[in-house]
Amino acid sequence: MNGKMICNTGPLIAFSMIDRIDILRHLFKLIAVPEAVHKEILEGGITNVGLANYRKIKWIKVKTLSSPADPLLETSLDSGEAAVIELARELNANFVLIDERKARKIARTVYGLHVIGSARVLVEAKRRGLLRNVGAALQAMRDGGYWIGDSIVDVTLKKAEEI
């Protein structure tokens, strides 16, 4: 995967639930979040161990948008998702890590961004020897309250079995 990746709040929460936020560091050259995402995390009442350590992580770069987000984004998505897409455009990012369906669709179809989700990152982590059991990781995310649809789980598990 390598390259620049802009991350939304949800995947950071999902990977922290399984105490594997470090996977992102191993898969991408640069991991950045817009200020809106950083603020969402800090204001969200950091309750799990992984996010409690979020403040200490130096390799996730918090970036300021150089211009306001596209009005389409502001009216269609929450502020974090809109900022992720706008920052990805500004930085010419290789990847956008978003799990929310509507934001993924807009990022991909309207802006032509390469969108990936947490499940895809888990498969790549297994491919690179960073994770043994994708199914257990997905289940731990779900058990922690992170929503991942059954169809996504099924496809992800099939891809993981091929490795």
Q: What is the CATH number of the domain that holds 98?
A: 3.40.50.1010
Instruction: Check whether 133 has a pLDDT greater than 60.
Output: yes
Model pTM? 0.93
Q: Is the pLDDT of residue 116 over 60?
A: yes
Q: What is the rounded distance in angstroms from the CA atom of residue 84 to the CA atom of residue 53?
A: 22
**140 is in which domain, residue-wise?**
4-161
Over residues 37-85, the pLDDT tens digits come to 999 888 875 555 556 667 778 999 999 999 888 888 989 999 999 999 9
51: tokens are 């996010």
Rounded Cα distance between 63 and 32, Å, is 7
Domains identified in the chain, total number: 1
State both tokens at 31. 């991991």
Query: Measured between alpha carbons, how far is 128 from 118 in angstroms, rounded to an integer?
Result: 15
Residues 87-106 as b/e (b if ≥16 CB within 10 A, e otherwise) read bbbebebbbbbbbbeebbeb
Rounded to the nearest 5 percent, the helix, strand and coil shares of the chain are: 55, 10, 35
Q: What is the pLDDT of residue 102?
A: 96
